[in-house]
Each structure stands twice: as structure tokens, then as C-alpha cells.
Amino acid sequence: MQLEGKHIVVTGGASGIGRALARRFAVEGARGVVVADLDASGCASVAEEVGGLAVPTDVADGDAVKALVAKAEDAYGPVDLFCANAGISVPGGVEAPDEDWDRIWKINVMSHVYAARAVLPGMLERGEGYLMTTASAAGLLNQIGSAPYGVTKHAAVGLAEWLAITYGDRGIKVSVLCPQAVRTAMTDAGSAVGDAGGGAAAADGMLEPEECAEAVVKGLAAESFLILPHPEVVTYMQRKAGDYDRWVSGMQRFQQKLGFVGEIP
């Protein structure tokens, strides 16, 4: 996909990767960039900067995502690319409270379901459209320190795969962005994620959001399913698929090296 002249929606657009994407899409000549985020002032600021439209949105609410798409279409016409970028992390394992599991499931998984429901009918009718999901390398390799994050990112990758398989022959393109550590609030050691985001994930270096956006532009141009800003992830995936038991043992050793000890449920 060439981004010039395209109508693009970015959720989680008030900061981090989402803000970098919105800025880069504007530079690439998108005809309309819609910035959605729960942070109303943040998405308004980014939208003003890129000359786009701010739509404060709770992506955990299916009706809100449907309304987001309706407002975007009223402003710029059919959505060409929907970047389901919003996501959160919470620390802990199976002992994490039910409310944390429910919240992260709605934001990291169901928000992508809601986005697909909202834009697929129009895209299928037109015979073209693009969905991009921001997942994580954790969705391919798991996440030391946060079971809810690793599990939900796996689910997000699985949904993206299903969409690509199911609708690829009807003109729908799908990409899934799977970086390791990117310098955002989520990987801030002072955040709720803390070292779970910045420790294991940062083993191969911390990227800036703008570097991630550059990888996205290249990945969309090539219409690649997997967009991997950290190229090392390919090698890790190959090792995992080649010898699962050896890979699990290696991850156990890596966990010990990081000093992480799981809580007793």
C-alpha cells in the first residue's frame, strides 16, 4: 500500500507508536488522518499537528469503535487503512486480578475484533482495504513478567492471521506489527509495566517510536503480514519452531538471568 491520498485511522494515537504513525502518515501524504485515543486532549493535540481529525474513543467499547469509524467516514470518506494500535499491559501471572484480565482482554484483543466489525463490511463491498494490528514480539515469543500481556498479544496475532486467511482473496490486506521494546510509556521502568516491558523486551535494544513508524511504512509498502522492527525476532521464531522444548528451556534460563520469580497463585 502506498499511503499518499489514503484515509487512515490510528487508535492509541495520542502518544508513543500511535503518535509516530499519525505523524508519519501525514508526511507520506495521507488525505485524512483520524487520531483516536482515550486521552481526549492528547489525541486533539496530535490531530491538530497533523491536520487531521481527533475522535476521543474507548476502544474497549464496540459501539464507540463503530462511532469512530462513522465519524471518520463522514470526514474523509471510506477508510483505506485502519491501524488498531491501542494497547495496554499489566504485570503478573495467573494470579493477576480478574478485573485486570478483563480489561487487558478488551483492549488488546476485543478492540481489534470491534475494528474489523466496523470496517470490513465497507471494505469487502469495495473489494479493498487494509487492517494493521499493533501486537508485539510477545505475541510471537511470549512475555516474561506479564502473563496477561503475552496471552493477549498472542490472541491479537492469531486474529490477524485469521483475518488474512479468511479475507485475503477478497481484497483485504492485513499486517501485524510485532516490535520488541519501543521507547513509550509502556516500557518506562516507572510505569505499571516496569521491568516486564523494559527488561526482557529490551534485550535487543530499545527503538524510538519513529523507527517503528519507519518499519510500518516499509512493511505496508511491501504488504508484509509480519512487520518486525527488530529483525532478531525472525531468528527467535525459527528457533522456537525448530525445537520447541529447547526454546522453552532457553526462555527459562533467560527468566532466571533477569531475576524474575513468578508469584504463587
Q: Specify the pLDDT at position 83.
A: 98
Better pLDDT: 206 or 238: 238
**Average pLDDT, whole number, for the chain?**
92
Q: Is 61 among the domain residues?
A: yes
To which residue does cell 490510528 refer? 10
* Domain extent at residue 70: 7-233
Please check the confidence at residue 194 and state whether its pLDDT lies above 50: no
What average pLDDT does this structure show over 143-163? 96
Q: What is the pLDDT of residue 152?
A: 98
Q: How many domains does the chain have?
A: 1
Please check the confidence at residue 196 and state whether its pLDDT lies above 50.
no
pLDDT digits (tens, 9 = 90+) for 209-265: 999 999 999 999 999 999 999 999 999 999 999 999 999 999 999 888 888 877 777
φ and ψ of 133, to 5 deg: -105, 130
pLDDT digits (tens, 9 = 90+) for 165-178: 999 999 999 999 99
Nearest to 233 by CA among 183, 186, 181, 197: 181
Judged by DSSP in three states, 74 sits in helix
Residue 241 belongs to a domain: no
- Asked if pLDDT for residue 193 goes beyond 50, the answer is no
Q: Give me the residues paired with residue 55 across strands.
A: 36
Asked if the model's pLDDT at residue 77 lies above 80, the reply is yes
150 pLDDT above the threshold of 70: yes
**Residue 120 is assigned to a structural domain of this protein:** yes
Residue 238 lies in a domain: no
Instruction: Determine what percent of the chain is predicted with pLDDT higher than 90.
Output: 84
Q: Is residue 149 annotated as part of the catalytic site, yes or no? A: yes
Cα separation, 249 vs 240, whole angstroms: 11
Residue 238 burial (CB count, 10 A): 11
Any domain includes 183? yes
Instruction: Note whether residue 138 is domain-resident.
Output: yes
Any domain includes 257: no
User: If you average pLDDT over residues 26-33, what whole number do you get?
Assistant: 98
Radius of gyration over every alpha carbon of the chain, rounded to an integer in angstroms: 18
Q: What phi, psi does 112 have (nearest 5°)?
A: -70, -35
Tell me, yes or no, whether 202 lies in a domain: yes
Question: Per-residue pLDDT averaged across 121-150, rounded?
Answer: 96
Those residues whose C-beta lies under 8 Å from the C-beta of residue 17, and which sit 6 or more positions away, are: 85, 134, 177, 179, 182, 184, 209, 212, 213
pLDDT at 192: 38
**List 114, 130, 149, 167, catalytic entry:** 149
Which CATH number goes with the domain that contains 64?
3.40.50.720
